[in-house]
Amino acid sequence: MATPAGLERWVQDELHSVLGLSERHVAQFLIGTAQRCTSAEEFVQRLRDTDTLDLSGPARDFALRLWNKVPRKAVVEKPARAAEREARALLEKNRSYRLLEDSEESSEETVSRAGSSLQKKRKKRKHLRKKREEEEEEEASEKGKKKTGGSKQQTEKPESEDEWERTERERLQDLEERDAFAERVRQRDKDRTRNVLERSDKKAYEEAQKRLKMAEEDRKAMVPELRKKSRREYLAKREREKLEDLEAELADEEFLFGDVELSRHERQELKYKRRVRDLAREYRAAGEQEKLEATNRYHMPKETRGQPARAVDLVEEESGAPGEEQRRWEEARLGAASLKFGARDAASQEPKYQLVLEEEETIEFVRATQLQGDEEPSAPPTSTQAQQKESIQAVRRSLPVFPFREELLAAIANHQVLIIEGETGSGKTTQIPQYLFEEGYTNKGMKIACTQPRRVAAMSVAARVAREMGVKLGNEVGYSIRFEDCTSERTVLRYMTDGMLLREFLSEPDLASYSVVMVDEAHERTLHTDILFGLIKDVARFRPELKVLVASATMDTARFSTFFDDAPVFRIPGRRFPVDIFYTKAPEADYLEACVVSVLQIHVTQPPGDILVFLTGQEEIEAACEMLQDRCRRLGSKIRELLVLPIYANLPSDMQARIFQPTPPGARKASANQRAGRAGRVAAGKCFRLYTAWAYQHELEETTVPEIQRTSLGNVVLLLKSLGIHDLMHFDFLDPPPYETLLLALEQLYALGALNHLGELTTSGRKMAELPVDPMLSKMILASEKYSCSEEILTVAAMLSVNNSIFYRPKDKVVHADNARVNFFLPGGDHLVLLNVYTQWAESGYSSQWCYENFVQFRSMRRARDVREQLEGLLERVEVGLSSCQGDYIRVRKAITAGYFYHTARLTRSGYRTVKQQQTVFIHPNSSLFEQQPRWLLYHELVLTTKEFMRQVLEIESSWLLEVAPHYYKAKELEDPHAKKMPKKIGKTREELG
DNA sequence: CAACCTCGT
């Protein structure tokens, strides 16, 4: 970043060379404008509006270069009503100016007005007091004829004299009070004037006026849309104005009459006013919500999102067939792009490679957008050990957040809740907690929590911050994730997964040991984050000193702001490295093929660097790798070396580690980058999207449906209930889950005995909440106490909670792998198979070699072991003793049934039906029971692929259901009409082995 | 006879 003077000179020079123009004020204007804009598009738009430059020619390019150079200002604002707020602020300032001019007069007026009101009140009060005294006197005189006490003597003094003295005294008092009152009014006006003087610098005033004008113009353009929803908005606006008046009135009332005794009527009036105010507030909140939803329905080009829509967008939305619309939009985008960048252009510049790609179909990319970076693209710095410490600090200073350190800290100090908006890589995650630490938020033994949706993120960020602060990880800076608590008593900066903080609510419902809670990556809207919002909002209300920071990418911040009672938004502009985004010119049919072609294309046409490809699944990744390697081999030495490395969750970890190793020089690693956010983190980059820009804007869902509206909520309900939140229907969800989902969860918990008929948590429910597994699993674990088989049940629970990734099935060894799997089969069902696998693995000494030989995934097993150990550690807390069934698997199966009686199916003549809902279901072909078809069974989960399949099934007897869940099943519905026709063949086999 | 599988306590 250049110094202001240097920057100005640079702009002047450029202006001169590009446009033959060298006026200083133009340069200043350009810089000033750029500083106030939040995106390059906005900047260009503004320039266009003001006709400063002819932006059709090289000036546009220059404008973009300028934009990249200018340090932008952070903005603290409430985006939901930015335009409205500005207008109101302007009006208020106008009023303030007037106040400044005639404040003396208005004070006098106020005093006389309020004075008379005071006198009225005083009179009333006097009247009331007199009346009361008279009543008392009457009472006393009737009662106390015999007693003639001192007090009585006083009142029996000569009446006229006494009366005169009293009124005189009161009049004096009144006068004094009136004087005091007048003084208070004067003081108030003086305060206001001072505030006005402080706030109103003229420039800001003019700026506000200009902005208001722009806002007005935007509004004008929105008229057609506005009309549609005008009624509601109009009402809301009126209500809002009313509310503001009312609030001012109430505030004055309290200020002026705060210590004057009010009559009952006046008190009622005040109460009524307050009630009206509260209602109006509610109404307003509802109105805003409505408005927001209405604006969200429109797919606006990203550049204008968050700002008032312009008429053009709306017109385009409404007119023409989709194809036509797409073409027009595409054209508009292409026209706007300053630079056309096609692979063909590049290839023609390097004829050597054109030959290589001749047979291949080339894919055309068009650069549509650039995400600006604040740094010039440059090679990543290579540093020696000695330089490292210095460079760490240099990197810290280079982060986009750094220039706003002071502003940010001030904003945090001034507001309890602050929404922080910034791109990935702006440094918000690593820097802000450090700033807070430096600022002393961790004094007095208080801690700072920073939540991440993912484990790796929590770990790596903590490690990074520890390095930056020069402390050992786990000391001052630590992380806390499931199975791994890398914190100590010294830890004040705690990075953790969101689920972890949620768990902490169980032990510390008010988060008393934290001074700041920062919810990071809020835009991801994970289930845990969403629930944290509701809980933290609650806590913040009764802990006014607790600071809440909600950090999000450039999305949804308006919603967060609204949710947290219009908390201000702090926008951190800029990103570290620029990322160019390229879109395909036409949609691709076979995207895997297209992807491979693009990689090669990129490989030969672009400067050296790594290529990162995002695909949807393991199979695709493997296929793509094969295709790439195959083609590279065919091309042989004609192209530079290409190193293809796959990465996906199920990949053995040593393979994963390979991608972090540095690339051999001249070679290039693992195609179209789907997420520009990931790139640009360490160095400048380019992002190729294998879909058209139109599709990006229109076909992809703007934001995915929040997790909370998709998943089963059993766990969540249990957790909230155990935190004492009973009224779940009115819990403060950012996006409330569907009513039915909540009801379903409540019913399920009731059936499991976690809730009583009043919906209150039972003791067993409290225990279930302690266990970090699904309610049915935890019920199963609790039941293992009764059947004395907790050792086995723990294993089953652990194995069930690692999802279907136990068996490894490489394509080239399918037969061996399937054989190995069948070898683990035990009669009874899949749960026992899982138990068998784990037991054998444990007997092998938890060996990885054993896993390899038996086609079992070591990583999954290790995870199962972790889960098992964690659960074992919690057994004591839920009062379950360790016990083993000693081979009596009936007991294990009964305990499982106690948790899963909800998930049962019976064999009918037309196949399997679930017992309660009569849904047609099938045993999954991978199940050990697939060929046996027992009459009664229990399943762990249903998966819908080609059919509704039961995965992980266990054979049970219907009588067990009555034993474990008598409240849920009636003997009659478990009767089997075909009992005599079908002998218990399988049952016998099982008993023999049992 | 089916093949999807991200993340978290």
The string of DSSP letters for A524-547 reads G--HHHHHHHHHHHHHHHH-TT-E
Beta bridge partners of A570: A76, A420
Nearest amino-acid residue to B4, taking CA and C1': A617
Q: Residue A338: is its pLDDT beyond 60?
A: no
First-to-final CA distance of chain A: 76
Q: Counting Cβ atoms within 10 Å, is residue A461 exposed (0-12), middle (13-18) or buried (19+)?
A: buried
Residue with tokens 């993912």: A454
pLDDT at A198: 54
Q: Residue A868: is its pLDDT beyond 60?
A: yes
DSSP secondary structure letter of residue A475: T
CA-derived radius of gyration, chain A: 36
Q: Counting Cβ atoms within 10 Å, is residue A212 exposed (0-12), middle (13-18) or buried (19+)?
A: middle
CA distance A462 to A476: 10
Beta bridge partners of A936: A906
pLDDT, tens digit, 9 for 90 and up, residues A759-805: 889 999 999 999 999 999 999 999 999 999 999 999 999 999 987 78
Asked if residue A499 keeps its beta carbon closer than 7 A to nucleic acid strand B, the reply is yes
Nearest amino-acid residue to B9, taking CA and C1': A772
pLDDT band with cut points at 50, 70 and 90 for residue A179: confident
The token pair at A257 is 């009459």
CA–CA distances in Å: residue A627 to residues A616, A637, A665, A809? 16, 17, 23, 21
- Return the beta strands (E) in A675-734 as ranges: 685-689
CA distance A516 to A413: 11
Question: Tell me, in Å, how far CA of A688 is from C1' of B8?
Answer: 31
Phi, psi (rounded to 5 degrees) for A797: -60, -45
CB A940 within 8 A of CB A893: no
Contacts of A113 (CB under 8 A, 6+ apart): none
Residue with tokens 């796959």: A646
CB A408 within 8 A of CB A438: no
Q: Strands A579-584 and A569-572: what pairing?
A: unpaired
Percent of chain A with pLDDT over 90: 30
Nearest to A746 by CA among A770, A727, A764: A727
CA angle centred on A343, ends A338 and A345, rounded to 5°: 70
Contacts of A98 (CB under 8 A, 6+ apart): none
Nearest amino-acid residue to B7, taking CA and C1': A454
CA distance A32 to A284: 36
CA distance A256 to A799: 69
Nearest amino-acid residue to B1, taking CA and C1': A925
Query: What stretch of H or E contains A755?
Result: none
CB A418 within 8 A of CB A550: yes
- Residues A29-47, buried b or exposed e (16+ Cβ, 10 A)? ebbebbeebbbbbbbbbeb
- The residue among A705 and A569 whose pLDDT is bigger is A569
pLDDT band with cut points at 50, 70 and 90 for residue A516: very high
Question: Tell me, in Å, how far CA of A536 is from C1' of B8?
Answer: 19
pLDDT, tens digit, 9 for 90 and up, residues A38-73: 777 778 888 887 777 777 777 888 888 888 787 766
CA distance A490 to A475: 6
Which residues of chain A between 39 and 68 are close to nucleic strand B, CB under 7 A? none
Sign of the CA dihedral with A814 first, then A922, A899, and A498 last: positive
CA–CA distances in Å: residue A618 to residues A669, A842, A946? 18, 29, 20
Report for A64-68, A126-130, A651-655, A989-993: range of highest mean pLDDT: A64-68
**CA torsion angle for A615, A620, A626, A631 (degrees, to 10)?**
-60
pLDDT at A693: 55
> Cβ–Cβ contacts within 10 Å for residue A624, how many?
21
CA distance A806 to A935: 27
CB A609 within 8 A of CB A636: no
Mean pLDDT of A493-497: 95
Which residues of chain A between 955 and 974 are close to nucleic strand B, CB under 7 A? none
Q: Residue A313: is its pLDDT beyond 50?
A: no
Mean pLDDT of A670-678: 36
* Helix A775-786 × helix A739-751 angle, to 10°: 0
Question: Tell me, in Å, how far CA of A525 is from C1' of B6?
Answer: 14
CA A263 to chain centre: 49
CA distance A828 to A990: 7
CA–CA distances in Å: residue A753 to residues A286, A762, A957? 37, 7, 22
Question: Tell me, in Å, how far CA of A364 is from C1' of B8?
Answer: 40
**CA torsion angle for A887, A889, A894, A897 (degrees, to 10)?**
130
- Return the beta strands (E) in A251-396 as ranges: 365-371
DSSP secondary structure letter of residue A445: G
Nearest to A745 by CA among A718, A722, A776, A714: A714
DSSP secondary structure letter of residue A738: P
Contacts of A145 (CB under 8 A, 6+ apart): none
Residue with tokens 């939009």: A329
CA–CA distances in Å: residue A285 to residues A80, A241, A290, A662? 12, 14, 9, 53
Q: Which nucleotides of B are covered by protein (CB under 7 A)?
A: 1-9
Beta bridge partners of A855: none
Nearest to A188 by CA among A257, A136, A128: A257
CB A889 within 8 A of CB A869: no
Question: Tell me, in Å, how far CA of A689 is from C1' of B5?
Answer: 23
CB A913 within 8 A of CB A906: yes
* Helix A4-19 × helix A58-69 angle, to 10°: 170
Beta bridge partners of A493: A448, A477
CA A335 to chain centre: 35
CA distance A21 to A32: 18
pLDDT at A349: 35
pLDDT band with cut points at 50, 70 and 90 for residue A342: very low
Nearest to A80 by CA among A330, A231, A296, A255: A296
Q: Residue A328: is its pLDDT beyond 60?
A: no
Question: Tell me, in Å, how far CA of A149 is from C1' of B7?
Answer: 83
Residue with tokens 């032990």: A507
Asked if residue A306 keeps its beta carbon closer than 7 A to nucleic acid strand B, the reply is no
CB A646 within 8 A of CB A625: yes
CA distance A478 to A104: 59
Beta bridge partners of A77: A569
Contacts of A879 (CB under 8 A, 6+ apart): A767, A785
Q: Strands A920-923 and A685-689: what pairing?
A: unpaired
Question: Tell me, in Å, how far CA of A389 is from C1' of B8?
Answer: 35
Question: Tell me, in Å, how far CA of A584 is from C1' of B6?
Answer: 26
Q: Mean of the per-residue pLDDT values for chain A?
A: 73
pLDDT band with cut points at 50, 70 and 90 for residue A611: low
pLDDT, tens digit, 9 for 90 and up, residues A411-446: 999 999 999 998 877 888 999 999 999 999 998 889
Asked if residue A926 keeps its beta carbon closer than 7 A to nucleic acid strand B, the reply is yes
pLDDT at A12: 84
pLDDT, tens digit, 9 for 90 and up, residues A394-408: 888 888 888 899 999
Question: Tell me, in Å, how far CA of A103 is from C1' of B7?
Answer: 61
The token pair at A825 is 């089969």
Which residues of chain A between 514 and 533 are close to nucleic strand B, CB under 7 A? 526, 528
Q: Residue A743: is its pLDDT beyond 70?
A: yes
CB A569 within 8 A of CB A38: no
Mean pLDDT of A112-125: 64
Asked if residue A943 keeps its beta carbon closer than 7 A to nucleic acid strand B, the reply is yes
pLDDT at A88: 56
CA–CA distances in Å: residue A328 to residues A321, A675, A695? 11, 26, 13
Question: Tell me, in Å, how far CA of A932 is from C1' of B1?
Answer: 13
DSSP secondary structure letter of residue A304: G
3-state DSSP assignment of residue A81: helix
Which residues of chain A between 114 and 133 are close to nucleic strand B, CB under 7 A? none
CB A574 within 8 A of CB A363: no
Asked if residue A456 keeps its beta carbon closer than 7 A to nucleic acid strand B, the reply is yes
Asked if residue A711 keeps its beta carbon closer than 7 A to nucleic acid strand B, the reply is no
Nearest amino-acid residue to B3, taking CA and C1': A945
The token pair at A828 is 């009874």
